[in-house]
Structure 1
Amino acid sequence: MKKSERLNQMLRFVNQRQRFTLKDVINEFQISKRTALRDIASLEEMGVPLYAEYGRYGGYRLVKPITLPPISFSSQEVFALYFAMQALQSFTSTPFEISYRSVHEKFLEGLTTKQRKQIDSLQKRVAFFHAEQLHECAYLEELLLASTNNQILSIVYTTEKQTTIRRIQPISIYAMKGYWYCQSLDLNKKAYRVFRCDRIKSIEVVEDVDMIDVEGITIENAHVFWKPTDQAIPFKCEITKTGIEQFIQSQFPSMKIKEEHNDYYLVGTYEPTEVDFIIRYLASFGKTIRIVEPVSLKEQLKAYYLDLINYI
């Protein structure tokens, strides 16, 4: 990183931290002690009001907040932002109704002529393929705000078979394979559930309801709330390394990979009402899996394949 770029970032670092040590600067910018001292001296020469505190617990303190210069991006940062924005292109629904076109236009307006030419060149040499969003989601913003504000929602949820009213405590939302999903605590069933956002037809905030403590719960670890019911059926499938790769791309909290004597198995549970789902899911693995148990699941998968053959 050029010194000018590093000093620009250091200005923002200092303004945010207010108090910091030399070690903080060294770790944050991955520079030597000598370079860190020179950079701090450069900041003082630029007029940054820093006060040095000596002693065992000493460091630097910003006397008063500073006015930061306009944000400027290096070519590498421009490319990184451009790559990140491509994820918006395939979604017709995004939180806060951000459209790819408006963001893209504002992004290009803020670039130099040279950077715009580099982006034009990049577009001709890099392709992005996404799973297109299949259904519009009307309540992404409300779901996201409810998760950040720790609110309870009453939702009307429609599936292929029925429409129900559920009370949920949203944890997070995420996009995968053309769909938006909401990780939630289902207060009706007192269990972790994932809802497809396009199937949520209405939302209403519910007041004066006991909530579950979700402090420290994130999108990565929300599945710790998931528990199978007493009626859940355990299953076990031998799986190849190719199958494991597919599982990593599309996995569920009710399943995991287990190693036994140098062989790998996909193990988990499914509810009696989820038979159609588990059959279609396992069928998607083709010859990379082999059902070990239960025998009933193996027979149901055979029937599924025979039905396909007869349909052809």
Structure 2
Amino acid sequence: MKKAERLNLMLKFINQKKRFTLSDLMAEFHISKRTALRDIASLEEMGAPIYVEYGRNGGYYLLNQMKLPPISFSSQEVYALYLSLQVLEGFTDLPFKVTYESIHKKFNDALSDQQKEKVARIKNRVVFYQTKQVTKCPCLEMIMTAIIEHNVLKIRYRDAERLIQPLVIYALKGHWYCQSFDMEKREYRVFRCDRILHAELTETEPLTELEHITMLNSHSLWKPSEKAISFKCLLDDGGIAIFQTEHYPSMRLVHEENHTYLIGTFEPNEWDFIVRYLSRYGKSLRIIEPEELKIHMKEYYMDFIRHL
């Protein structure tokens, strides 16, 4: 790390710490005691109001907060930020869309001519083939805000009103989905965001025990109904790869005697959904149980053949 970059980061560090020691700087920036002393001297020359107190409990103190220099990015950081913006470009209803467009403009305005030239080269040579958003989601920004601020929403989902605490939002194959907790039914549910026609904030207190929920552990909330149907399918390596690119909270992989199985549940009104989902696996999947699922799959393929 160059000295100028290190001093810039050090200013931010001591602005947050207020009190610090040489050991703090040495550990944070992986520098020697000698370098730390030289850097403190350089910061003082730059006008940092640093005061030293000697003794057993002594250390360095920042007398008052400094106005920090503007954030600067290295060339590699500029490329990474630009690529991140490009990935998001395919979403029609990006959360905070107006803010996103403003950030995109500010990002481009802040680039030097040389950086603009290199970014243009990236645009013409690095392409992300991804599924474009296929439906409008008028309430997407409100849902995202509710997740961030731990709010409960009253939504109109298709023709029904629901009271939900949104937990996780994600995009998959052109659609936005919201994993939520239904406050009235006391059930974990996944809603497709384009089917949420209206949303409004409520005064309902959110469940604090749900604040720790993330995308990685949200499946722990999933509980099938008493009428749910269990299934089990054998997967080969290709099937495992398909599962990793698309699956749902009601499904998981298990390993038994050197074999990998896809197990899960679906509701009685979800036969069409589960058949269409499993059909994507092709020969990479073999249904173990239930027998009725095999029958539905055969009927699906026979119907497909008749339409050829």
TM-score, normalised with respect to structure 1 = 0.89
Matches of 1:301 and 1:53 in 2, distance apart?
77
Matches of 1:222 and 1:244 in 2, distance apart?
21
Which position in structure 1 is the counterpart of 2:122? 122
Residue 252 (structure 1) aligned to one of 248, 251, 259: 248
Post-superposition offset of 1:191: 1.2
Matches of 1:98 and 1:192 in 2, distance apart?
31
Which position in structure 2 is the counterpart of 1:75? 75
Structure 1 pair 286–47 and aligned structure 2 pair: CA distance change class (3 A): same
Contact 2:232–2:290 (Cα < 8 Å) also in 1: yes
Structure 1 pair 253–20 and aligned structure 2 pair: CA distance change class (3 A): farther
Which position in structure 2 is the counterpart of 1:299? 295
Matches of 1:249 and 1:26 in 2, distance apart?
43
Which position in structure 1 is the counterpart of 2:88? 88
Matches of 1:287 and 1:74 in 2, distance apart?
48
Post-superposition offset of 1:36: 4.6
Post-superposition offset of 1:56: 7.6
Which position in structure 2 is the counterpart of 1:33? 32
Which position in structure 1 is the counterpart of 2:214? 218
Unaligned runs of 5+ in 2: none
Name the % identity: 50
Q: State the secondary structure of the residue aligned to 2:239.
A: helix
Residue 265 (structure 2) aligned to one of 263, 266, 269: 269
1:124-154 CA-to-partner distances (Å, cap 9, x unmatched) read: 2211222101011111121122223322222
Contact 1:237–1:293 (Cα < 8 Å) also in 2: yes
Which position in structure 2 is the counterpart of 1:133? 133
Aligned residue identity for 1:271: E
Which position in structure 2 is the counterpart of 1:286? 282
Matches of 1:225 and 1:58 in 2, distance apart?
50
Which position in structure 2 is the counterpart of 1:308? 304
Post-superposition offset of 1:305: 0.8
What is the Cα-based RMSD across aligned positions, in Å?
2.3
Residue 229 (structure 2) aligned to one of 221, 229, 233: 233
Contact 1:171–1:218 (Cα < 8 Å) also in 2: yes
Contact 2:151–2:205 (Cα < 8 Å) also in 1: no
Q: State the secondary structure of the residue aligned to 1:77.
A: helix
Matches of 1:157 and 1:6 in 2, distance apart?
52
Post-superposition offset of 1:57: 7.1
Aligned residue identity for 2:13: F
Post-superposition offset of 1:236: 0.9
Structure 1 pair 54–168 and aligned structure 2 pair: CA distance change class (3 A): farther
Matches of 1:263 and 1:55 in 2, distance apart?
66
Aligned residue identity for 1:294: P
Contact 1:89–1:100 (Cα < 8 Å) also in 2: no
Aligned residue identity for 2:108: L
TM-score, normalised with respect to structure 2 = 0.90
Contact 1:88–1:100 (Cα < 8 Å) also in 2: no
Contact 1:22–1:33 (Cα < 8 Å) also in 2: no
Structure 1 pair 25–242 and aligned structure 2 pair: CA distance change class (3 A): farther
Post-superposition offset of 1:12: 2.1
Matches of 2:230 and 2:88 in 1, distance apart?
38
Structure 1 pair 56–146 and aligned structure 2 pair: CA distance change class (3 A): farther
Q: State the secondary structure of the residue aligned to 1:95.
A: coil
Structure 1 pair 300–85 and aligned structure 2 pair: CA distance change class (3 A): same
Unaligned runs of 5+ in 1: none
Aligned residue identity for 1:212: L
Post-superposition offset of 1:50: 3.1
